[in-house]
């Protein structure tokens, strides 16, 4: 869920949120989340642990201060591969792009023993 969707679902109007700079600078975001006294979560009022800057079509860029739980609810999902083979495929692609020798043979094993069994015939055990 995106922060704008969460606020819309809860009936929180973006006009009531503080205007934010566009584009946001990392130092401004860090300063805001580290400010004392801490800001309140715009959803529940608890101590804000994270902040996002959200563009609303009618209201423009707004600060969205969120507690840990609400921040995690709108956290961007990882786009990393979920399987070992997916990770290996990404690493092989990066190795090919870097022109590393043996890029196509990058492999992962579930254990040291499996790796030893999977060695090429001409390889000596370590």
pLDDT tens-place string over residues 80-118: 777 878 888 888 888 888 888 888 777 777 777 877 777
**Where are the domains positioned within the chain?**
3-73, 84-117
Neighbouring C-beta atoms of residue 125, cutoff 10 Å: 7
Q: Residue 24 in contact with residue 87, Cβ under 8 Å? A: no
Residue 73: pLDDT band (50, 70, 90) is confident
Cα gap 104→93, rounded to integer Å:
8
Q: Among 39-43, 47-51, 90-94, whose mean pLDDT is lowest?
A: 90-94
Classify the C-alpha dihedral 82-86-88-90 as positive or negative: negative
The pLDDT score that the predictor gives to residue 122 is 55
Q: Does residue 17 contact residue 59 with C-beta atoms inside 8 Å?
A: yes
């Amino acid at each position: 869920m995106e922060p704008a969707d969460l606020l819309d679902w809860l009936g929180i109007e973006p006009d009531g949120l503080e205007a934010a700079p566009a584009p946001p600078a990392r130092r401004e975001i860090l300063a805001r989340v580290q400010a004392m006294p801490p800001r309140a979560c715009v959803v529940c009022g608890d101590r804000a642990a994270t902040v996002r800057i959200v563009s609303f079509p009618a209201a423009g860029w707004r600060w969205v201060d969120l507690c840990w739980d609400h921040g995690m609810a709108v956290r961007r999902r990882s786009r990393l591969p979920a399987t070992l083979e997916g990770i290996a495929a990404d690493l092989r692609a990066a190795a090919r792009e870097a022109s590393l020798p043996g890029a196509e043979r990058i492999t992962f094993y579930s254990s040291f023993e499996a790796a030893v069994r999977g060695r090429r015939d001409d390889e000596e055990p370590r």
